[in-house]
């Protein structure tokens, strides 16, 4: 690590994930998230963004498995921890917000109870105290009439409200890292802005680092300090957000930016498709361990897979 940067809260080193021990899904991804920073991961569907997030939490499902690399979370090597230790970290030190607020809440338990469970499990509180803290948590995510809403069931809330509840649950124990996997994709645009602002505000106030997984470049541009672009299981480019949007270095990034829908560009032929790449930066040439956060591009090689 370099001298002028604080120690990262999460350091992903050459992470490799395979499916059924044969198909490589992630070809060695490395990036750091600094304390309090919002780091964006963009890329098209299937590029490995969500899988990276799940691997950090230790929740990859068979046949997916990590088969190389290392994950450092505050100087602890996550992959060497026991299942029990990793479970203790989940929800307490690192939390996740899902894409689908409609299914991510237990339909048979009240909102208040579900948030209170976080305090009971991770803080060992009694139910009465946990319930009071849950109402407080609902208030923090700007849910109107929190006392009343704590007694409501998930189906009585709108999508935006549910996502706020999810955020309240995720941030209940003041984690160091929040993994937000497309947190606003299922919401409509006006609600989206509010939820994003909420995440940004709360995390800034608590100094929580955020790993924001999204395919929405607009969201990324608004939220993140730094962005990593993923393509077919490789991190092809990593830059400060402003630099990335102003001067995308990798052709895939350029293609991704060019593929953004824009108002008034419906005339056929003017809006290009996402450019197909037949080349990709090899993992070994990227020199990610160099003491700079801007990754220089290495020579490209033909894609074989």
Contacts of 256 (CB under 8 A, 6+ apart): 42, 43, 44, 217, 229, 248, 274
Nearer to other proteins (CB atom), residue 95 or residue 230: 95
Report the distance separating Cα 153 and Cα 231, nearest Å. Answer: 40
Interaction between residue 166 and other proteins (CB under 8 A): yes
Residue 32 in 3-state DSSP? strand
Q: Which residues in the 41-70 window bind other proteins by CB under 8 A? A: 57, 59
Interaction between residue 74 and other proteins (CB under 8 A): no
Output the six-digit token pair for 182. Answer: 């497309």
Interaction between residue 130 and other proteins (CB under 8 A): no
**Residue selected from 95, 198, 230, 281 as contacting other proteins according to rule CB under 8 A:** 95
Interaction between residue 102 and other proteins (CB under 8 A): yes
Nearest to 172 by CA among 94, 85, 86, 56: 94
Output the six-digit token pair for 138. Answer: 């609902």
What CA–CA distances, in Å, run from 4 to 74, 193, 230, 249? Answer: 17, 34, 27, 25
Residue 273 in 3-state DSSP? coil
Nearest to 55 by CA among 31, 77, 79, 34: 79
Interaction between residue 176 and other proteins (CB under 8 A): no
Interaction between residue 158 and other proteins (CB under 8 A): no
Nearer to other proteins (CB atom), residue 162 or residue 232: 162
- Tally: H helices and E strands in the chain: 10, 12
Q: How far is the CB of 85 from other proteins (least distance, A)?
A: 11
Q: How far is the CB of 213 from other proteins (least distance, A)?
A: 13
**Residue selected from 103, 247, 279, 292 as contacting other proteins according to rule CB under 8 A:** 103
Interaction between residue 98 and other proteins (CB under 8 A): yes
Nearer to other proteins (CB atom), residue 33 or residue 244: 33
**Residue selected from 1, 5, 109, 145 as contacting other proteins according to rule CB under 8 A:** 109
Q: Which spans of this chain sit near other proteins (rule: CB under 8 A)? A: 57, 59, 87-92, 95-96, 98, 100, 102-109, 117-118, 121-122, 166, 169-170
């Amino acid at each position: 690590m370099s001298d002028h940067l604080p120690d990262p809260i999460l350091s992903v080193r050459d992470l490799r994930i395979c499916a059924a021990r044969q198909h490589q899904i992630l070809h060695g991804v490395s990036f750091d998230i600094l304390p309090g920073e919002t780091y964006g991961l963009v890329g098209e569907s299937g590029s490995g963004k969500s899988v990276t997030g799940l691997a950090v939490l230790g929740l990859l499902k068979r046949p997916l498995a990590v088969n190389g690399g290392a994950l450092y979370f505050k100087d602890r090597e996550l992959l060497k921890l026991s299942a029990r230790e990793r479970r203790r970290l989940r929800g307490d030190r690192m939390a996740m917000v899902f894409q689908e607020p409609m299914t991510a809440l237990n339909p048979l338990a009240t909102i208040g109870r579900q948030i209170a469970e976080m305090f009971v499990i991770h803080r060992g509180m009694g139910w009465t105290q946990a319930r009071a803290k849950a109402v407080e948590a609902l208030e923090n995510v700007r849910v109107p009439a929190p006392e009343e809403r704590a007694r409501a069931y998930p189906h009585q809330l709108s999508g935006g409200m549910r996502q706020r509840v999810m955020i309240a649950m995720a941030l209940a124990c003041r984690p160091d890292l929040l993994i937000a996997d497309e947190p606003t994709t299922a919401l409509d645009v006006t609600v989206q802005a509010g939820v994003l602002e909420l995440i940004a505000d709360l995390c800034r106030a608590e100094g929580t680092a955020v790993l924001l997984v999204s395919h929405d470049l607009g969201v990324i541009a608004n939220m993140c300090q730094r962005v990593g672009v993923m393509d077919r299981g490789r991190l092809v480019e990593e830059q400060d957000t402003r630099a990335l949007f102003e001067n995308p270095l990798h052709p895939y990034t350029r293609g991704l930016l060019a593929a953004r829908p824009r108002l008034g560009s419906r005339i056929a032929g003017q809006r290009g498709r996402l450019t197909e790449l037949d080349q990709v930066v090899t993992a070994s040439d990227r020199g990610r361990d160099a003491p700079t956060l801007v990754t220089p591009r290495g020579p490209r090689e033909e894609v074989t897979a």
